[in-house]
Amino acid sequence: MKPIDEVATLRLTGVPAGLTDGTMQHINPVLIPQVSEVAMVKGYKRPKSAYSGNNPGYVPPSGGGHLRGEDDWLFGHGRQHSARPWRGESEQTRSLPKLPPQSIDDVLAYVTHNRRVCPLSIHWMAMMNPVGLISANADVWIPMAPGESEWRLLTDSNKRALLKRQILAAAAGGALQLFAQHLHRLRETEWHHES
């Protein structure tokens, strides 16, 4: 047996390369390499097992006591390592609804309908991000939506006042229709409501 290289032989056997007869009789159990050291050996390739990061699509068999069915993945049982495709639409891929011309009063009535206060923080930020409203109207200045931590600290009346300021700024800049379309695109579950 030829040694792979001097460092690997020294790590594996504790004896410098060339001083072994290839039978590995001189193995020192203290110097048996760890997995990270074995991976550094020149020419070594870690075996690909079915249940590893090398195969992200692998679905391990469900054992006894695990849930079965469509919601199995929610609880981390059985198929937790399988790749699961997104089945919904993202905020950016949802198309803007066709709306009749909107007045400021129409938009204000819509955002307060059903005890709405403002969009939830993540949706409010997505509505204002560069691929949304601002890039479409670069010349219109609209106050930014609060970040997640700031949004949690604001009272409902402050959130509603900020949304109203955004609506008025959009109207002043000629972007009220686009702003209304973005607001109408939000689902009811994506709005914060009065408690």
The predicted pLDDT at position 56 comes to 54
The predicted pLDDT at position 25 comes to 55
Domain range list for the chain: 1-46, 104-193
The predicted pLDDT at position 194 comes to 92
The predicted pLDDT at position 158 comes to 94
- Check if the beta carbon of residue 153 is closer than 8 Å to that of residue 121: no
Which pair of tokens denotes residue 158? 């402050």
- pTM of this structure: 0.51
Which pair of tokens denotes residue 62? 């469900």
Phi-psi region of 190 (alpha: psi -120 to 50; beta: other; left: phi over 0): alpha
The radius of gyration computed from the CA coordinates of the chain, to the nearest angstrom, equals 30
CA distance 172 to 176: 8
Q: Along the chain (195 residues), what's the average pLDDT of each consecutive run of 10 residues?
A: 52 54 54 49 57 53 48 46 46 71 94 94 81 56 85 94 91 86 92 92
Which pair of tokens denotes residue 146? 């609060």
Which pair of tokens denotes residue 72? 């199995």
HEC-encoded secondary structure of the chain: CCCCCHHHHHHHHCCCCCCCCCCCCCCCHHHCCCHHHHHHCCCCCCCCCCCCCCCCCCCCCCCCCCCCCHHHHHHCCCCCCCCCCCCCCCCCCCCCCCCCCCCHHHHHHHHHHHHEEEECHHHHHHHHCCCCHHHHCCCCCCCCCCCHHHHHHCCHHHHHHHHHHHHHHHHHCCCHHHHHHHHHHCCHHHEEECC
